[in-house]
């Protein structure tokens, strides 16, 4: 997998998140999957809006 499309955000900016909790849904050419929060905190920003295609390891959000 080299890229994926953000299909839906499950959290909004300002929402608390817990490590491992699903925060977004992505779609590749083969699968639809959930992106899990890599850390606990507050979702400070969303850098890739729904519908945007992003490269693997590209930052899509910031958790503080």
pLDDT at 63 (0 to 100)? 98
Q: What confidence tens digit (pLDDT) does each residue in 1-50 have?
A: 799 999 999 999 999 999 999 999 999 999 999 999 999 999 999 999 99
Whole-number pLDDT of residue 22 = 98
Look at residue 47 in the predicted model and tell me its pLDDT: 96
pLDDT of res. 1? 75
Give the domain range for residue 11.
3-63
Q: How many structural domains is the chain composed of? A: 1
Q: Of 30, 27, 23, which is closest to residue 44 (Cα–Cα)?
A: 23
The CA R_g of the chain, rounded to the nearest whole Å, is: 11
Assess whether pLDDT exceeds 80 at residue 62. yes
Q: What is the CATH number of the domain that holds 36?
A: 2.40.50.100
Question: Look-up: residue for tokens 């945007």?
Answer: 52
Q: Which two tokens stand for residue 33?
A: 């999957």
pTM recorded for the entire structure? 0.89
């Amino acid at each position: 997998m080299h890229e994926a499309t953000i299909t839906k955000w499950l959290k909004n900016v300002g929402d608390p998140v817990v490590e491992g909790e699903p925060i977004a849904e992505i779609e590749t050419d083969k699968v639809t999957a959930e992106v899990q929060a890599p850390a606990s905190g507050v979702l400070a920003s969303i850098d890739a809006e729904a519908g945007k295609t992003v490269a693997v390891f590209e930052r899509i959000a910031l958790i503080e």
